[in-house]
Amino acid sequence: MFDKDRWQEIFNAIKQNKLRSVLTAFGVFWGIFMLVTMTGAGNGLINGVTDGFKDFAANSAFVWANTTTKPYKGFRQGRQWNFTNDDMASIRREIPEVDVLAPKLQGWNISNGENVIRGLKTGSFRVNGEVPDYNLIDPNEMVYGRYINDMDIHHRRKVCVIGERVYEVMFEKDEDPVGEYLKVSGVWFQVIGVARSKNPNINIGGDKKEMISLPFTTMQQSFNYGNDVHFFGFTSRAGESVSETAEKVTQLLKSKHSIDPEDLEATGHFNVEEQVKTMNYMFLGINVLIWIVGIGTLVAGAVGISNIMLVIVRERTKEIGIQRAIGARPWTIVSQILTESVFLTTIAGFLGLALGTLVLHAADMAIMAAEAAKTSEEGTFFKNPEIGLPMALIALAVLVLTGLIAGLIPAQKAIRIKPIEALRHE
């Protein structure tokens, strides 16, 4: 493949008009550069967003009760109703598709004002009742201590797990909070741990950093919620559709509470699986858009190369004629033009690839620096802009292909030159 005479011709063609070659190559350079930086940015967005919920159980849903909107079995419409502990037991018993079931309490009425007190420190935080299994739906990592366990539930222990923000406000820096007491809405609770959610971008029932979690049973008893369950999360077993399971669950609840099965407003639910699907479609959309724009730009560059190759062929008409007269076969000429086109595209594309990667790297460094310097606890939605090796290989293949296609028309034109006409061409 490496043939000095061939390359001599290529370099000669490029050298003879340096500015023109550079400007032409710039088209392809820009195409690849755009493709690389945009794909990188897209990946950055996807990484940033998914990082915020990647550990959240994707096969989960949350269900809550709303006011009824239809009269049924003698009950009027507009009735308030609540889930109960019995409902949870029924779901467990009658719907085998449900895997994890985590009832929750939400202490709206006890989260008013400065409801948390420790010595001279006070704060206003949300209070939730949780079961240990909730950690399977929305996993936490423990900064201090442990999460709520079955013993806490069974003995209705007065313990609590606090969010990071609660720890910051109620404790000294680096103080060990485990074993300390907080007065939450008038009742003393012993702190057993500080939790940091692995999914900071999904918050259900308040910001998790500002949350105090009590054992579910303790909260029912201490704050007079009786048998109430405010809402619950569940996951479906592997292979079961979350929306179908949610439908079964709500129908069961409606029949137990004498609610019209047709009353769609009486229960609300949030299907994480659906959300993840939607999100994935959105990411797919972003990717498709990036590729369309990137390939489009690249095509524009390729057209430029093709155009300039036509000019080169025209300029070299006489030369090609001479070569043909002294025995160059058409294939010799075609491969010459194609090599030239691919060479120009690949060099330009490589530079684009290199600069694109450099820019992404710089952006990555800048983001990491910004993150390190950041004081507020805002979640990031942009992380690790990058392109992988497969992407780089695809780009390379696309380049060679582009070069070949760009060279095709000029090459066709070159072999259509009759030597005799070329020799007449002065």
Partner 1 sequence: MSNSIIRVEALHKSYVNGSNSLHVLKGIDMDIQKGEMVSIMGSSGSGKSTLLNILGILDNYDAGSYHLDDIHISKMNETKAAKYRNQYIGFVFQSFNLISFKNAMENVALPLYYQKVSRKKRNNLALEYLERMGLREWAHHLPSELSGGQKQRIAIARALISKPKIILADEPTGALDSQTSLEVMEILKEVNQTGIAIIIVTHENDIANQTQRIIRLRDGVIESNQVNHAFHLESVEVN
Contacts with partner 1, residue ranges (CB under 8 A): 4-5, 8-9, 12, 318-319, 321-332, 415, 418-420, 423, 426
Question: Looking at beta carbons only, is 202 or 415 nearer to partner 1?
Answer: 415
CA–CA gap between residue 314 and residue 310 (Å, rounded):
6
Q: How far is the CB of 15 from partner 1 (least distance, A)?
A: 9
Question: Looking at beta carbons only, is 9 or 152 nearer to partner 1?
Answer: 9
- Residue 264 makes CB contacts below 8 A (sequence gap 6+) with 69
CA–CA gap between residue 83 and residue 64 (Å, rounded):
8
CA–CA gap between residue 360 and residue 238 (Å, rounded):
38
Cβ–Cβ under 8 Å, residues 142 and 195: yes
Question: Looking at beta carbons only, is 45 or 322 nearer to partner 1?
Answer: 322
Q: How far is the CB of 47 from partner 1 (least distance, A)?
A: 51
Q: In the block, which residue shows the tokens 């929305």?
A: 138
Phi-psi region of 367 (alpha: psi -120 to 50; beta: other; left: phi over 0): alpha
Q: How far is the CB of 338 from partner 1 (least distance, A)?
A: 17
CB atoms under 10 Å from CB of 260, counted, come to: 16
Question: Looking at beta carbons only, is 174 or 426 nearer to partner 1?
Answer: 426
For the chain, the C-alpha Rg in angstroms (whole number) is: 34
CA–CA gap between residue 20 and residue 396 (Å, rounded):
23
Question: Looking at beta carbons only, is 281 or 331 nearer to partner 1?
Answer: 331
Q: In the block, which residue shows the tokens 């897209």?
A: 42
List, in sequence order, every beta strand (DSSP E) within 58-158.
60-65, 83-84, 98-106, 116-118, 121-123, 126-130, 140-145
Q: How far is the CB of 421 from partner 1 (least distance, A)?
A: 9
Question: Looking at beta carbons only, is 165 or 318 nearer to partner 1?
Answer: 318
Q: How far is the CB of 25 from partner 1 (least distance, A)?
A: 20
Question: Looking at beta carbons only, is 277 or 329 nearer to partner 1?
Answer: 329
Q: How far is the CB of 412 from partner 1 (least distance, A)?
A: 13
CB atoms under 10 Å from CB of 361, counted, come to: 13
Q: How far is the CB of 391 from partner 1 (least distance, A)?
A: 39
